[in-house]
Amino acid sequence: MNAREEVELRERLPRVGDTVRSKKYGTLWRVMEKREMWEHTADDPRTGNTRLVPAIYLRYWKIREDKVPGIGRMLGYSYTALDNTFEANWEIVE
């Protein structure tokens, strides 16, 4: 299993086109972009120094009936296998 697959499996991330709901606000967002990236972290278990870890970046578009997809509010977050921020903040809408 490569690093990207590990992040996606651990975080249970949505696919492009999926709809997610903010657990804090209850608003609906559509996943418009998904890409691999590297993120700096300062918790190398051996040295405590900065290291690069694989991450998945998702860009979300806020779903509004009066706007066409891609126009309006957008936001993006990156997720690594070291955190649970997707699960803590979002739920995938079936």
Confidence of residue 59 (pLDDT cuts 50, 70, 90): very high
Mean pLDDT on 31-48: 84
Q: How many independent structural domains does the chain possess?
A: 1
> Residue 35's closest CA among 57, 7, 18, 5?
57
The boundaries of the domain holding residue 38 are 3-93
Closest CA to 92 of 6, 8, 31, 7: 31
Write down the pTM of the prediction. Answer: 0.80
| Res 11: pLDDT | 67
